[in-house]
């Protein structure tokens, strides 16, 4: 059991060389070791993203339903002398999620960069760390519920924008191997309203929404919720439930080793969800895949 006593995050103490490390990175370093009370506060800070410095310590504590003493221990654990020190640093931090500011070497001289071999090792280690951290975020019950909805839905609609489009397209490709009735939204013609008009309450909308998502994604999820259409959201720790409302939300660690986010955990989670859906469909999935293979043979396309 993890103690709720204060501790220092590595590399954040006084006298350490280099630019200050952003609070989200500090949180990711220790998240899996935090007690539940501090995890709630960590989630609240991550969901605030660039607006973190506009909240008082008392407001954050209320948002996370924790005591002021727990909040104080949390910020000391991250390596700050106080909440105010974290707040001052955050005011000088540009918007979280922009690759312009997410380079882990930002502010260092070129000769301070890791050598290629070390950088490559760091890159793969970060993905391993992301997978491990993601496991600590996920609920087995939520995953089981998401799989059940993938199996039972009449039609599964897959949605993703910007960087999330590639992951949504990947999910669509996997799903097409185990069942029919798979649609990607919006279509290439961007007929979003027309697509949404065809979604029923017996369908499922699988949404991939990693940072930085377009504002329309919030509107889409709100409209789907108002119409009683089930939704499963694959996202990261910065997505607030009020901003991206979904019936089931599965969060992944997406911290990159360099200037870009990592999607290794998101890809792995999508692979797992569809694999489990295929297992649950059993003979139906096998017959569907056999038909697909027969059609490939007939078409001679592979």
Most confident of 234-238, 265-269, 289-293: 265-269
Residue 183 and residue 261 in one domain: yes
Contact 237, 34 (CB under 8 A): no
Indicate if the pLDDT at residue 98 is higher than 60.
no
Q: Do 154 and 287 belong to one domain?
A: yes
As for how many domains the chain has, the answer is: 2
pLDDT of residue 126: 87
How high is the pLDDT of residue 1?
35
Phi, psi of 130 (to 5 degrees): -65, -40
Assess if residue 227 is contained within a domain.
yes
Domain assignment present for residue 110? The answer is no
Q: Residue 29's domain spans which residues?
A: 1-93
Encode pLDDT of 166-215 as tens digits: 999 999 999 999 999 999 988 766 688 888 888 999 999 999 999 878 88
Task: Tell me which of 61, 93, 125 is where a domain ends.
Answer: 93
Global pTM exceeds 0.75: no
Say yes or no: 75 and 183 in one domain.
no
Which residues lie across from 249 on neighbouring strands? 233
Question: Is the same domain home to 162 and 72?
Answer: no
Cα torsion 108, 110, 116, 117 to 10°: value is -60
Domain with residue 57: its CATH number is 1.10.10.10
The whole-number pLDDT of residue 173 equals: 94
In a domain, 257, yes or no: yes
Least confident of 102-116, 167-181, 235-249, 264-278: 102-116
Interior angle at CA 90, CA 86 and CA 92, nearest 5: 130
- Residue 111 belongs to a domain: no
Give the pLDDT of residue 28. Answer: 76
74/160 same-domain check: no
In a domain, 216, yes or no: yes
Q: How does DSSP assign 130-168, residue by residue?
A: HHHHHHHH--HHHHHHHHHHHHH-SSEEEEE-TTHHHHH
Is 225 within the bounds of a domain? yes
Same domain, 56 and 168: no
Specify whether 159 is located in the same domain as 80. Answer: no
What is the pLDDT, as a whole number, of residue 50? Answer: 63
């Amino acid at each position: 059991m993890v103690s709720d006593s204060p501790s220092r995050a590595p590399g954040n103490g006084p006298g350490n060389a280099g630019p200050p490390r952003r609070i989200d990175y500090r949180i990711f370093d220790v998240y899996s070791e935090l007690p539940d009370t501090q995890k709630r506060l960590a989630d609240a800070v991550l969901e605030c993203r660039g607006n973190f410095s506009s909240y008082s310590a008392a407001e954050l504590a209320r948002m996370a339903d924790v005591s002021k003493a727990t909040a104080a221990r949390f910020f000391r654990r991250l390596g700050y002398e106080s909440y105010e020190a974290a707040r001052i640093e955050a005011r000088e931090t540009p918007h979280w999620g922009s690759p312009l500011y997410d380079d882990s070497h930002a502010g260092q001289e070129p000769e301070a960069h890791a050598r290629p071999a070390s950088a490559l090792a760091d890159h793969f280690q970060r993905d391993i760390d992301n997978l491990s951290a993601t496991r600590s975020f996920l609920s087995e019950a939520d995953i089981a519920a998401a799989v059940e909805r993938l199996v039972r839905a009449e039609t599964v609609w897959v949605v993703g924008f910007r960087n999330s489009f590639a992951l949504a397209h990947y999910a669509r490709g996997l799903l097409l191997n185990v069942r029919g009735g798979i649609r990607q939204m919006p279509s290439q013609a961007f007929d979003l309203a027309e697509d949404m008009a065809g979604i029923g309450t017996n369908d499922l909308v699988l949404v991939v929404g990693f940072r930085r998502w377009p504002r329309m994604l919030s509107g889409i999820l709100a409209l789907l919720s108002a119409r009683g259409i089930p939704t499963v959201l694959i996202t990261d720790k910065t997505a607030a439930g009020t901003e991206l409302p979904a019936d089931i939300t599965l969060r992944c660690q997406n911290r990159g080793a360099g200037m870009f986010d990592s999607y290794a955990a998101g890809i792995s989670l999508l692979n797992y969800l569809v694999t489990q859906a295929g297992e649950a469909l059993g003979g139906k999935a096998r017959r569907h895949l056999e038909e697909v293979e027969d059609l490939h043979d007939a078409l001679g396309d592979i």
